[in-house]
Structure 1
Amino acid sequence: MDKSKRHGRLQEIFDMIFPYCKYIGNRIVHLLPVTIIISIAIFGLIELMPGDPVLAMINPETTASMTEVERAQYVETMRITLGYNKPIIVRYFLWWKDILTGNFGYSVALNKPINEFIGTYIKNSFKVNIFGFILAFLIAIPIGIKSAVKKNSTYDKSVTVFSMIGISLPSFFMALLLVLLFAATFRVLPFSGMRDPRGIRPDFMYLILPVTVIVLSSLASLVRYIRNAMIEVLKADYIRTSRAKGLSEKVVIYQHAFQNALIPVITIIGFWIPALFGGSIIVEKIFAWPGMGYLMNQAYTFKDRGVLSTVLLFYAVLTLFANLFIDIGYAIVDPRIRERRIK
């Protein structure tokens, strides 16, 4: 009897999970042709960049003592070694072969294989962004909910003004203002880098300014989304029914109303995923934080084709999986969407 009950319970769990697994598998299969199309566009645009990639990889000091004939032969040998003598379609498939085997190419700017440093830059971006996004989310939820509950009050109007100012101000302006105040004027925080070479300042101090910029730039829009979503949900009939049943206001707001207001929040979180691992070009450039955004800016400045193609494909794949996360989140939160898309 116990075995039959356990078997029945396992069957129930399988029946509940299988539709989700099937749905995720189908969505991943649908992402494959989109990824291929995007990769073709990226590879083609990189190939159209001006300049000879082979000449960019050759150290001038290596060919300084060569004659013109020797230099031409050396360049041609390098071209054959690197595969640039092959047709573009062949190079495209070789590029994918290298990616799938973990060989992302060679960085001209850093003078080393990309797979030796790309993981460090991703980790640095994740480190600064995860703190910023978690803090923004934890601050925005109570503010947005309270603003919706106290609609048109002085508190709500103050939050609305703050949100409009936060949305209007660009992140680079906030970053420069914070650097001016806390790094240049009061000199209580470092304004660039991620650690003190002298070992005097603790490493967490280098996180404060970039994390603050991420929080401020994300907070305004997130508060706005939560507030508007909660206002719409609080008008629903089932909320009035819940209150009529005698449920406490906290249960009505946080358990019933907020759960149904999560769809726009899931959308925001999904849009954050590429930035979580991909970093922010503006923030990382201003604070000289060695993340993916900083790497992207450096690759564009030095026309580092290998890094550009790798980072752009990385951003594209992250964006596609962020959309997948949004769809799955919708299905989990909203039963109507779950029945329509998964079953």
Structure 2
Amino acid sequence: MRFFLSRVLSAVAALLLLTMATFLLVRLMPGDVTTSLTGVDGASQETKAAIAAEYGLDKPLPEQYVRWLGHVLEGDLGTTALTGQPVTEALGEKMVPSLQIALIAVVISVLLAVVLGTVAALRRGRAADKAASGVALVGTSLPDFVVGLLLLVFVARQAGLATFGYEPLSAGLWEWGRHMVLPVTALSLGLIGLLTRLTRTSVSETLQQEFVRTARSKGVQGRRMLWRHVLRPSLIPIITTAGLQLVAVVGGVVVIEVVFSIPGMGKLIFDGMRQRDYAVIQAATLVIGCMAIAVNVFVDLVYRYLDPRMRDS
């Protein structure tokens, strides 16, 4: 319980620092802050004064922060200049395809990497090891957007897959899948390469541990040996890395959504940066930062559960 409370308190402190950094993001942007917040360019002095009064920009900075934080806690992140709708509503609509792509990519990457890395460790130096190492090398060498472009050129039409856009699950599983295969593949390859290498190293090190040799001398073999004595301790660094990479994957979605013209959070951020819609950039920074903090807390808790040394301490 003490460990859990300490992680929660650390997360709260990190959230406060995140809100301060996000608040200052717009205030430190070059140009007029009223333009940054509203997207209204070339307004008269009277209009700027009215906007400043509406947003509380005529108040001292600490008072502005407290007022802004109150709005954030109420779910009010401002209005996007791109469409005129509330930023919370715009992000809510765009997050669905983004999170689907990111989560599916991470799950597929972990499953494939654990299989490839384990086979490579058990067949060290053989053909299976070399094949898995080759996949890992290709995955870690090619950027996500390059993989996406290669898939568009060489795979999409031949396989009958959708090359752009997004269809929700309500449109049917087939249509949803056709639109998800390419972006998920492009996003997964690099993570598969990273986790395959990590799994191979972790399993190889575990196989050399004294407790594994002791279990073998007692006649433990097969699946019981693999799962209970080899894979379970080997999964600790893999799950930790996968959890931390989830945030990086969400960042990678920004590029992938531009490549495949997917109307997700990444494309919203890209359009916001291009149109200088700082309300969108500010809100997206806050949301992604909150996700990063939540994932870190979750990874700490999972790590403590899997590692008996952490539980004992």
Q: Which residue of 2 aligns with 1:192?
A: 164
Bigger relative CO (Cα 8 Å, ≥ 6 apart): 2
* Per-residue deviation, residues 262-283 of structure 1 (Å, max 9, x unmatched): 1111212211343566662111
Preserved contact between residue 125 and residue 278 of structure 1 (Cα < 8 Å): no
Return the letter of the residue paired with 1:162: V
Is 1:306 paired with 2:279? yes
Is 1:205 paired with 2:178? yes
Matched residues in 2 for 1:158 and 1:58: separation?
52
Q: Report matched runs for 1:285-296 at 5 Å.
A: 285-296=258-269
SS in structure 1 opposite 2:101? Answer: helix
* Per-residue deviation, residues 122-170 of structure 1 (Å, max 9, x unmatched): 2221112222222222222221111101111121122112211210111
Deviation at 1:314, TM superposition (A): 1.6
- Taking structure 2 as the reference length, the TM-score comes to 0.90
Preserved contact between residue 122 and residue 292 of structure 1 (Cα < 8 Å): yes
Is 1:264 paired with 2:233? no
SS in structure 2 opposite 1:307? Answer: helix
Deviation at 1:58, TM superposition (A): 6.5
**Structure 1 segments unaligned to the other structure (5+ residues):** 1-18, 64-70
* Per-residue deviation, residues 222-250 of structure 1 (Å, max 9, x unmatched): 11111110000000111111111112222
Q: CA RMSD in A?
A: 2.4
Deviation at 1:322, TM superposition (A): 1.9
Q: Report matched runs for 1:165-176 at 5 Å.
A: 165-176=138-149
Deviation at 1:334, TM superposition (A): 1.0
SS in structure 1 opposite 2:175? Answer: coil
Matched residues in 2 for 1:236 and 1:91: separation?
57
Is 1:227 paired with 2:200? yes
Q: Which residue of 1 aligns with 2:28?
A: 48
Q: Which residue of 2 aligns with 1:81?
A: 54
Cα–Cα, structure 1 residues 216 and 331, in superposed 2: closer, same or farther, change >3 Å? same
* Per-residue deviation, residues 246-266 of structure 1 (Å, max 9, x unmatched): 122221112211001011112
Matched residues in 2 for 1:176 and 1:107: separation?
30
Return the letter of the residue paired with 1:38: L
* Per-residue deviation, residues 170-213 of structure 1 (Å, max 9, x unmatched): 11110000011134x637222211039xx898232111110111
Matched residues in 2 for 1:114 and 1:188: separation?
36
Matched residues in 2 for 1:165 and 1:216: separation?
8
Preserved contact between residue 273 and residue 318 of structure 1 (Cα < 8 Å): no
SS in structure 2 opposite 1:108? Answer: coil
Return the letter of the residue paired with 1:303: R
Deviation at 1:105, TM superposition (A): 1.0
Matched residues in 2 for 1:236 and 1:307: separation?
51
Of 25, 42, 45, which residue of structure 1 is paired with 2:5?
25
Cα–Cα, structure 1 residues 55 and 238, in superposed 2: closer, same or farther, change >3 Å? closer
SS in structure 2 opposite 1:50? Answer: coil
Matched residues in 1 for 2:265 and 2:286: separation?
12
Q: Which residue of 1 aligns with 2:227?
A: 254
Matched residues in 1 for 2:166 and 2:92: separation?
16
**Structure 2 segments unaligned to the other structure (5+ residues):** none
SS in structure 2 opposite 1:204? Answer: helix
Q: Say how many residue pairs are matched.
A: 309
Report % sequence identity: 26
- Taking structure 1 as the reference length, the TM-score comes to 0.83
Return the letter of the residue paired with 2:96: K
Name which of structure 1's ranges 92-101 and 76-85 shifts more when overlaid on structure 2. 76-85
Is 1:39 paired with 2:19? yes
Q: Which residue of 2 aligns with 1:124?
A: 97
Q: Which residue of 1 aligns with 2:80?
A: 107
Name which of structure 1's ranges 39-48 and 327-336 shifts more when overlaid on structure 2. 39-48
Preserved contact between residue 243 and residue 299 of structure 2 (Cα < 8 Å): yes
Matched residues in 1 for 2:137 and 2:183: separation?
21
Name which of structure 1's ranges 325-334 and 79-88 shifts more when overlaid on structure 2. 79-88
Preserved contact between residue 278 and residue 292 of structure 1 (Cα < 8 Å): no
Matched residues in 2 for 1:73 and 1:315: separation?
36
